[in-house]
Amino acid sequence: MVKELRDRTGAGMMECKKALVETGGDTDAAIELLRKSGQAKADKKAARIAADGRVIVATDGPKAVIVEVNSETDFVAKDENFIAFAESVAATALGSQDDEVGDLMAQSGADGKVLEAARTELISKVGENISVRRFARIQAADHLGNYTHGARIGAVVSLSGGDADLARDIAMHVAASKPTCIDEAGVPRDTLETERRIFTEQARDSGKPPEIIEKMVTGRILKFLKEITLLGQPFVKDPDISVGKLLDASGAAVTEFLRYEVGEGIEKKEENFAEEVMAQIKQSG
């Protein structure tokens, strides 16, 4: 009975035995008890920072989805159960019309299990907080390119014109070079104004005449735009040519791109092992 309960729930042997004892050997009641216990554990772990994990890209013809699923450690991110869950989330997101994580998690995966229930069970199994952080879909204009660097960075590109190989090359470039937008038109005005203000203050410290300062600032703004825009960046496989010129030579254009990197923007708690040990010693004393 313990083995059957383990197979059906994935819970530990002692947890299964305890649940069966408490329910008088009623397997269904024991499953419900374990699920409730798992949810309680998941709630307790929810406050813990999950800044590791995986980025998954799933495709179906001209459409793709990119998903970030987080764990607390790289160790769990490599666990086969975690990987299977992340892939299930991506597959469900690809076939779903939902745009919010909460709505997506109410959907059932390919195995028929609701994703939120699967997440709770996974938390109980691996002992870490697990969260589905974000996802986004993209539809290809003509060609869809995608590239993942290990499990931590993923990129998807929609290309008008060109071919599949070029689309993949651009996706590889996006993954490696981290552009923030396609071209200058996509740069927020306040970002440009902030950079211009900083560059102007720096140039004034040089003591040069106003007309020279203006040229210096203009030059720095152009350099900044080349660094952050996809079309302005040197192509990662041939730095002598910009991505813009590469696309022009192929009669192609990027209509949209997505790039996810695990944990970006999440403040990960820095653990100090020595301090942790000393704190435990003080508590025990």
Residue 56 and residue 135 share a domain: yes
Q: What is the mean pLDDT of residues 199-221?
A: 84
Report pLDDT for 132. 94
CB count in 10 Å sphere of residue 57:
20
Residue 52 and residue 135 share a domain: yes
Rounded to whole angstroms, how far apart are CA atoms 33 and 31? 5
Cα 108 from chain centroid (whole Å):
21
Residue 134: give the domain boundaries: 48-139
CB 69 within 8 A of CB 58: no
Most confidently predicted of 4-8, 67-71, 194-198, 216-220: 67-71
Asked if residue 194 belongs to a domain, the reply is yes
Q: What is the pTM of this model?
A: 0.74
Helix (H) or strand (E) holding 71: strand 63-71
Report pLDDT for 124. 84
Asked if residue 34 belongs to a domain, the reply is yes
Question: Burial of 156 by CB count in 10 Å (0-12 exposed, 13-18 middle, 19+ buried)?
Answer: buried
Report pLDDT for 40. 41
Positive or negative torsion for Cα 98, 100, 102, 104? positive
Residue 71 and residue 37 share a domain: no
Residue 224 and residue 190 share a domain: yes
Asked if residue 252 belongs to a domain, the reply is no
Asked if residue 265 belongs to a domain, the reply is no
Rounded to whole angstroms, how far apart are CA atoms 64 and 257? 11
Residue-wise pLDDT for 215-272, tens only, equals 888 899 999 999 999 999 999 999 999 999 999 999 999 999 999 999 888 765 555 5
Report pLDDT for 283. 59
Q: Out of 55-59, 70-74, 208-212, 271-275, which region has the weakest mean confidence (pLDDT)?
A: 271-275
Report pLDDT for 126. 85
Asked if residue 11 belongs to a domain, the reply is yes
Asked if residue 225 belongs to a domain, the reply is yes
How many helices (H) and strands (E) are present in the chain, helices listed first? 12, 8
Residue 101 and residue 30 share a domain: no
Residue 79 and residue 28 share a domain: no
Residue-wise pLDDT for 87-97, tens only, equals 999 999 999 99
Asked if residue 156 belongs to a domain, the reply is no
Measured in degrees and rounded to the nearest 5, phi and psi for residue 212 equal -70, -40
Domains: count for the chain: 3
Residue-wise pLDDT for 153-170, tens only, equals 999 999 999 999 999 999
Residue-wise pLDDT for 113-145, tens only, equals 999 999 998 988 888 889 999 999 999 999 999
Report pLDDT for 43. 46
CB 158 within 8 A of CB 139: yes
Rounded to whole angstroms, how far apart are CA atoms 259 and 278? 41
Asked if residue 91 belongs to a domain, the reply is yes
Report pLDDT for 15. 79
